[in-house]
Amino acid sequence: MKPKTPTTGFVLVYITTPSVEAAQHIGREMVENKLAACANILPQMQSIYSWKGKICQDQEVVLLLKTSQGLFTKLKERVQALHEYECPCILALPIADGNEPYLQWLSDLPK
């Protein structure tokens, strides 16, 4: 039997956006509304993907948000409302472990 991976109750949310401005808008909205503790923006990502039967290649920007698992549904719904993509990439990746003081800081998010 495989041992369970420990989990902290926090998630790293991976989102792709069409521009730095879009990532800044969404990230600021999430932090200001206490749906995320922190937003990181990684510009100039190259994406190759299949969409509606075509192979596409575009420049995109990665937005990373740190939040609690309990806030993810609200965060996802708000990102979908703000996002300009028809089908935005919004993925929650569980945080298995981390620096205790940082995780304590994350725990200051509303429950």
Pairwise CA distance, residues 98 & 13, whole Å: 16
pLDDT score for 110: 84
Is the confidence at residue 3, as pLDDT, over 60? Answer: no
- Contact by Cβ (8 Å): 12, 95: yes
Is the confidence at residue 5, as pLDDT, over 70? Answer: no
Task: Tell me the per-residue pLDDT of 68-111, one tens digit each, with 9 for 90 and over.
Answer: 999 999 999 999 999 999 999 999 999 999 999 999 999 988 87
Phi first, then psi: what are they for 61, rounded to 5°?
-125, 135
pLDDT score for 7: 79
Pick the CATH number of 10-106 from 3.50.50.60, 3.40.30.10, 3.30.70.120, 1.10.3720.10: 3.30.70.120
* Token pair listed for 111: 């429950």
Where do the structural domains in the chain lie, given as residue ranges? Answer: 10-106
Phi first, then psi: what are they for 22, rounded to 5°?
-65, -45
C-alpha dihedral sign at 64, 70, 76, 82 = negative
pTM comes to 0.92
The stretch 37-64 carries a mean pLDDT of 97
